[in-house]
Amino acid sequence: MRGSDTFCWTCGSPRDGSEVAAAPDRLEVVDTRQDGSPSRGQSWAVITVIAVAVVAAVGVAVWWLVRPEDGATTVDAVTTQSAPVAAPSPDPVQPSPPAAAAATTPAVQYPTGILEPSRVTAPSTSPDSADAQGRPTSYEAANVLDADPATAWRTEGNASGASLSFTFDSAVQITQVGLINGFAKVDPYDGTDRYDQGRRILSVTWTFDSPAGPVSVPQQLTDGDRDLQLVAVPAVVAASVTLTIDSVTRPGAGGLFDRTAVSDVQFSNV
């Protein structure tokens, strides 16, 4: 029997029933093994040390795995609540700048009254002649602009289809035109009536070269009327006008003077 089994582990009495002088104050267990191996108490101590070492090693390993990276800062997660987004306020309405006043072209002021063309041309002209007193007489186209019925433009024969062209220095507004439809002259020397001798014009067409295109106005004339015969036209702006002879009478004085004449032409803005 081992020395350690000699006494009871509970009461300390000898297991073989022998008496002992006196019971010890406290249980003192001495476990001495003959082979020198550690006792049971020593084994538990070693096991405890080993367990503590293992736990410490595991703790170090866990810390190593979960440690933050060098220089990294760990921030506790904080639940934040977004502030309500205010609806954008509409941009203040900027008053529109006042529209620039449309550039207005000032109304053109056209001359009024009698309008004087700067030039007139005709297709052909009768040769110069002399009156009953022997004074020379010419029949150039400019005679129709001198406001003198005793001078005229005259051409030989029937002038139907012939045209006179009038040009102004600048565009004018025309509201009325007219002409004397023959050679309205009475010879002061012997009183011969030149109007009855020649052909008289019965109809013409006025053509105005306006910016919008040609504007034509016909005119019927009265045979025997030696005055200026006028016709109103729509207010037309033009820089040139053409007077075309459409029809004439037969020659007078028994056909001895087969000529067509115009004493005067007038343009006006009234």
In order of start, what are the domains of the chain with their CATH numbers?
3-63 (no CATH), 113-269 (2.60.120.260)
Task: For 67-110, write each residue's pLDDT tens digit.
Answer: 555 544 433 433 434 445 455 555 555 656 555 555 666 788 99
- pLDDT exceeds 90 at position 263: yes
pLDDT for res 67? 58
Sort strands 129-130 and 213-220 into parallel, antiparallel or unpaired: unpaired
Residue 232: both structure tokens together? 């109103």
What phi and psi values does residue 155 have, to the nearest 5 degrees? Answer: -130, 155
Compute the average pLDDT of residues 26-34.
44
> For the chain, what percent of residues have pLDDT higher than 70?
61
Counting runs of H as helices and runs of E as strands, what totals does the chain give? 2, 11
pLDDT for res 25? 45
pLDDT for res 65? 57
Encode 199-234: b = buried (16+ Cβ within 10 Å), e = exposed.
bbbbebebbbbbeeeebebebebeeeebebbeeebe
What phi and psi values does residue 228 have, to the nearest 5 degrees? Answer: -70, 120
pLDDT for res 217? 98
Give CA torsion, residues 135, 229, 181, 132, to 10 deg. -20
- Which residue reads 């060098």 in tokens? 70
- Which residue reads 């049971």 in tokens? 40
End-to-end CA distance of the chain: 166
| Mean pLDDT of all residues belonging to the chain | 79
Task: For 233-254, write each residue's pLDDT tens digit.
Answer: 999 999 999 999 999 999 987 7
Q: In angstroms, rounded to a whole number, what is the distance separating the alpha carbons of residues 270 and 61?
A: 120
Assessment of whether the complete model's pTM goes beyond 0.85: no
Task: For 114-169, write each residue's pLDDT tens digit.
Answer: 999 999 999 999 999 988 888 899 999 999 999 999 999 999 999 999 999 999 99
Contact 231, 217 (CB under 8 A): yes
Q: In angstroms, rounded to a whole number, what is the distance separating the alpha carbons of residues 131 and 150?
A: 11
